[in-house]
Amino acid sequence: MKKAIIKLVYTLTLVLIVSCTSHPPYNTANLTEEERISRIKLDFSRTEEEIKQYIRKYIPDVTNEHIRWWEESKSTGMYDY
């Protein structure tokens, strides 16, 4: 189970990196709130089902419960709070 968790955290990190870098970066310091929200929607455009399919390529037996647990425990390592 521990190897599966490590593998998933790695996979989710890759998904987030791909999502974040799929569009050219630019300075967000002077964006309005509306522009910032629009940019977030653009950068993080993957659906939950797309992410699950991607994870299942690497961890075929992953369940929705595993994914929820990883999200709730903040195991993906991509949280600022």
3-state secondary structure 28-71: CCCCCHHHHHHHHHHHCCCCHHHHHHHHHHHCCCCCHHHHHHHH
Number of domains, the chain: 1
What is the predicted pLDDT for the residue at 81?
44
Tokens of 58: 């690497």
Residue 18 lies in a domain: yes
Residue 6 lies in a domain: yes
Residue indicated by tokens 């369940």: 63
Q: Which pTM does this prediction carry?
A: 0.45
| Residues 4-42 pLDDT 10s | 778 777 787 777 776 665 555 556 667 788 888 888 888
3-state secondary structure of 27: coil
First to last CA, the chain: 26
CA 79, 39, 18, 55 torsion: positive or negative?
A: positive
Q: Which range marks the domain in which residue 11 is found?
A: 2-23+31-72
